[in-house]
Amino acid sequence: MTHGTAPASPEPPAPPEQGGTPPRSTLVVTAHAGDFVWRAGGAIALAASRGEKVTVACLTFGERGESAKAWREGKKLEEIKAIRRAEAERAAATLGAEVRFFDAGDYPLTPTAELTDLLVAVYRDTQPDVVLTHPAEDPYNGDHPAAHRMALEARVLAQAIGYPGPGEIIGAPPVFFFEPHQPEMSGFRPEVLLDITEVWDTKRKAMECLGAQQHLWDYYTDLAVRRGVQLKRNAGPNLGLAHRTMAEAYMRPYPQIAKELA
């Protein structure tokens, strides 16, 4: 079944900085135009606030499966894509990230060798220190596991010196899975709780850029409150946390590397 356009080549990378140590780099691989905002907007804003480079690889615009409001208003496919692209660009700019679009077609997002190859090129170009993407399970949306599989496969291929393509091979950046919409049904455990209180207002502004999914604004605000309560419960009583701590939850598929337990 084919319904979308062929994956477009991502925008060319910005020129490298001259001299000095390059900033840390975060790569976010996301299925749809809104996913990176709801699930990882706080992590993105935190990294950007520290002067780090954040790149979002957005595989689809969510034009078919996550734009119901626009379809009900009678808009056409290409018009909806344009709306979702503009929303994602505004949200990414608000968070301080660069977003690259692949227009691979959603519902379903079909993994292909060509799309994986484009992701390998992004890994090698951005040289990420951290990777954020979807977890392996989501019984309500097959696009998310598809993006997950391609993100992990491309990470491995980007490390292989014999894999063809431009750019230098990468190391093995740690991967964090952001929280799916219905975590209980997706085998998600909140193994890492990230305090996003200082950038919460930024995340909320980015969420409000996504008018096509306005029904999710309050849901993800409430989720940040709940995860913040859990963060405080697990952080001990004397850390000076804000009365209303906001947080995001993540899972780790690979071992944490450490020289001491903390």
> 28-67: per-residue pLDDT in tens?
999 999 999 999 999 999 999 999 999 999 999 999 999 9
The band of 109, judged by pLDDT with boundaries at 50, 70 and 90, is very high
The confidence score (pLDDT) of residue 20 equals: 73
Q: Is the pLDDT of residue 14 over 60?
A: no
Structural domain contains residue 167: yes
> 56-103: per-residue pLDDT in tens?
999 999 999 999 999 999 999 999 999 999 999 999 999 999 999 999
**Percent of the chain topping pLDDT 90:** 85
With residues binned 3-state (H G I as helix, E B as strand, rest as coil), the percentages for the chain, rounded to 5, are: 40, 15, 45
Structural domain contains residue 255: no
CB 56 within 8 A of CB 30: yes
Instruction: Give the residues across from 30 on adjacent strands.
Output: 58
Structural domain contains residue 7: no
Structural domain contains residue 19: no
- Residue 41's SS3 state is helix
CATH number at residue 218: 3.40.50.10320
Structural domain contains residue 15: no
Structural domain contains residue 13: no
Print the domain residue range for 50. 25-250
Structural domain contains residue 205: yes
Structural domain contains residue 6: no
> 174-227: per-residue pLDDT in tens?
999 999 999 999 999 999 999 999 999 999 999 999 998 999 999 999 999 999
Please give the Cα distance from 245 to 227 (Å, whole number). 8
Please give the Cα distance from 144 to 125 (Å, whole number). 23
Element (H, E) at 53: strand 53-58
Number of domains in the chain: 1
